[in-house]
Amino acid sequence: MIPKLADFGLARKSLKSGDCKTFCGTPAYFAPEVINAKQFQDEGRDAGYDMQVDMWSLGVVLYIILCGVPPFEDENLYGQILEGKFEFDVDEWTTVSFEAKELVRKLMTVSPKDRLTIQQAIEHQWFKFAAPPSSPTVQKRVPDHLAGAAKRLRTDGGELPQQQMPALGA
């Protein structure tokens, strides 16, 4: 089974940076630049955002998947987002790997210029596997869109010990 996430209810084609200006979506998943764009527009200044907001939202989704709770409290939600103020403090994070936490941090970076792009996220260490793409074990576990990341994997085609396979937080 390959899980997939999709929600195109508010999707639109964005052709250039800063092209998006609509203040919409679920507030807990807003990237800082969405909040800033709204504040700037309220002040009469022209402001927008680009596709990097989706990378922030992906970080929020990954955070929730890994620990079961959202990264931000309801009180002063926008302030926490604008400051990038989240922690790995719940007990569930004690079993999550450094690589997974690092990926979340790099996705939820306040500056969109410093935030991971989709290509950088796919190439992140957390997505690397320890078996070759030709391995039947890996073929069942590596989705087609991650096949490129599998190029660096073992080539003997042998069965992998279970501890080498990445688990959802490992």
41 shares its domain with 54 = yes
60 shares its domain with 136 = no
- 161: pLDDT confidence band, cut at 50, 70 and 90? very low
Give me the domain span that covers residue 46. Answer: 27-127
Residue 6 domain-assigned (yes or no) = no
94 shares its domain with 155 = no
75 shares its domain with 137 = no
pLDDT at position 132 is 52
24-47 average pLDDT score: 88
91 shares its domain with 59 = yes
pLDDT at position 88 is 95
88 shares its domain with 68 = yes
User: Which residue would you say has higher pLDDT here, 5 or 29?
Assistant: 29
Residue 79 domain-assigned (yes or no) = yes
pLDDT at position 25 is 84
Lowest mean pLDDT among 19-23, 38-42, 96-100, 130-134: 130-134
98 shares its domain with 134 = no
Backbone phi, psi, residue 140, to 5°: -75, -20
114 shares its domain with 31 = yes
Q: Where are the alpha helices (DSSP H) in the chain?
A: 32-42, 52-67, 77-83, 98-107, 118-122, 136-139
